[in-house]
């Protein structure tokens, strides 16, 4: 796979605030190939969402890409015109957001909102309504005719998220970005949404970037994992490698905090002491050094860089085991 041209290539990405410059994302590099699903995990503030928003030019006001590039199918999105980005957004690359209640327009009927997706990229025709009905039906929305005439508040959280997925898939994107879309849902509904996304990805041979803080959520959903900490990638690799042979102490700490069905004694879960550093306060050191049980003097005076390959890489002077 590594010899094939990636669908999405993020290289040495840097993101900073514009005024009173503060580095938020530093030297982030990863790739996603056609049909591949990649997960990005890390604590709140690690830079997951900012990285995903930068792909579609949706960074908040006062924040900008200041280094590196984002290439989609050979196009540099960091230098593309606003019109080029708009043409890609929602068609070639779609996004599902964390909170469907704020992502959907509360005063517009569901059918109208999905029709707007089509209208933003092509002219509406006699077949447009049917395309919307088919999209809603495909994600398991019951009574589609009624749903099209309903407002978002008339749906449960799970149903609203299904609507968001239908909207994202309406124009058959090549890449789906999902920013913690199951966080606000209960466990049962969460599993239904995960199964739905996995089914649609396989059916469409669609690439996916799944953002989450929960390793357990992505264990059976993605092919590769990227672990972020304080605005940098600290480890990446296949799901099997990450779960069975974590190299970075931070990744090992995240995994040890997960409950397992094999634990019959219900022992106390392990937690990582301390809190994450702000990316702009790290300086020339490993950001995880203040919380790391393997810390050595060089960890406090040098920045570790990713070493390895697509299957497994780690940014650590003293990894958990041999690569």
pLDDT of residue 256: 86
Residues 6+ apart with CB under 8 A from 191: none
CA-only gyration radius of the chain, Å: 21
Tell me the pLDDT tens digit for each residue of 243-272.
Answer: 999 999 999 999 988 776 666 666 777 788
Residues 228-254 have a mean pLDDT of 94
Per-residue model confidence as pLDDT tens digits over 182-196: 877 888 888 888 899
Q: Which residues pair with 70 in a beta bridge?
A: 10
SS3 category, 305: coil
pTM to 2 decimal places:
0.91
Q: DSSP class of residue 89?
A: B
CA atoms within 13 A on the CB side of 6: 18
For 216, the token pair is 């357990």
Distance CA 149, CA 76 (A): 40
Q: Is residue 219 scored above 50 in pLDDT?
A: yes
Question: Residues near 42 by Cβ (< 8 Å), separated by ≥ 6?
Answer: 48, 213, 227, 228, 229
Q: Which helix (H) or strand (E) holds 153?
A: none
Of 280, 278, 275, residue with least CA distance to 291: 275
pLDDT at 226 over 50: yes
Mean pLDDT check: name the lowest of 228-237, 256-265, 310-319. 256-265
Res 323 pLDDT > 70: no
State how far the Cα of 62 lies from the Cα of 53, in Å rounded to an integer. Answer: 14
pLDDT in tens, 37-92: 999 999 888 999 999 999 999 999 999 999 999 999 989 999 999 999 999 999 99
CA distance 163 to 140: 9
How far apart are the C-alpha atoms of 205 and 169, rounded to whole Å?
A: 12
pLDDT digits (tens, 9 = 90+) for 146-191: 999 999 999 998 899 999 999 999 999 999 999 988 877 888 888 8
Domains assigned to the chain: 8-89+223-314 (3.40.50.300)
> Which string of b and e fits 72-85 if b means at least 16 CB within 10 Å?
bbeeebbebeeeeb
Q: What is the pLDDT of residue 101?
A: 75
pLDDT digits (tens, 9 = 90+) for 107-136: 999 999 999 999 999 999 999 999 999 999
d(CA 196, CA 238): 22
**Distance, CA of 63 to CA of 16 (rounded, Å):** 6
CA–CA separation, 247 vs 143, rounded Å?
Answer: 49
pLDDT at residue 263 in the model: 61
Helix (H) or strand (E) holding 138: helix 128-138
Confidence (pLDDT) at 1: 43
Report pLDDT for 264. 64
Res. 17: pLDDT tops 90: yes
Which pLDDT does position 299 carry in this prediction? Answer: 95
């Amino acid at each position: 796979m590594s010899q094939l041209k990636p669908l999405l290539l993020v290289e040495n990405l840097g993101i900073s605030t514009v005024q009173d410059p503060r580095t938020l994302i530093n030297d982030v590099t990863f790739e996603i190939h056609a049909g591949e699903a990649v997960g990005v995990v890390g604590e709140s503030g690690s830079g997951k969402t900012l990285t995903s928003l930068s792909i579609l030019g949706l960074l908040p006001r006062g924040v900008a890409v200041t280094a590196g590039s984002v290439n989609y199918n050979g196009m540099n999105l960091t230098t593309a015109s606003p019109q080029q980005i708009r043409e890609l957004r929602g068609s070639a690359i779609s996004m599902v957001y964390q909170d469907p209640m704020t992502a959907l327009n509360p005063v517009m009927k569901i059918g109208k909102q999905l029709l707007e997706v089509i209208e933003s990229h092509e002219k509406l025709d006699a077949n447009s309504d049917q395309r919307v009905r088919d999209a809603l039906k495909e994600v398991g929305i019951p009574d589609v005719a009624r749903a099209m005439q309903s407002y978002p508040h008339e749906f449960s959280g799970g149903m609203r998220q299904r609507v968001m997925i239908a909207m994202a898939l309406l124009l058959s994107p090549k890449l789906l970005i999902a920013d913690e879309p199951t966080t606000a849902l209960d466990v049962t509904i969460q599993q239904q949404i995960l199964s739905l996304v996995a089914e649609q990805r396989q059916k469409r041979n669609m690439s996916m970037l799944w953002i989450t803080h929960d390793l357990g959520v992505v264990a059976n959903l993605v092919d590769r994992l990227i672990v972020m900490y304080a605005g940098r990638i600290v480890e990446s690799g296949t799901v099997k490698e990450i779960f069975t042979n974590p190299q970075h102490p931070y990744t090992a700490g995240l995994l040890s905090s997960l409950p397992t069905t094999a634990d019959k004694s219900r022992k106390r879960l392990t937690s990582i002491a301390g809190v994450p550093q702000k990316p702009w306060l790290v300086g020339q050191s490993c950001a995880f050094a203040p919380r790391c049980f393997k810390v050595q003097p060089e960890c406090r005076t040098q920045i570790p860089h990713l070493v390895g390959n697509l299957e497994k890489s780690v940014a650590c002077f003293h990894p958990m085991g041999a690569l």
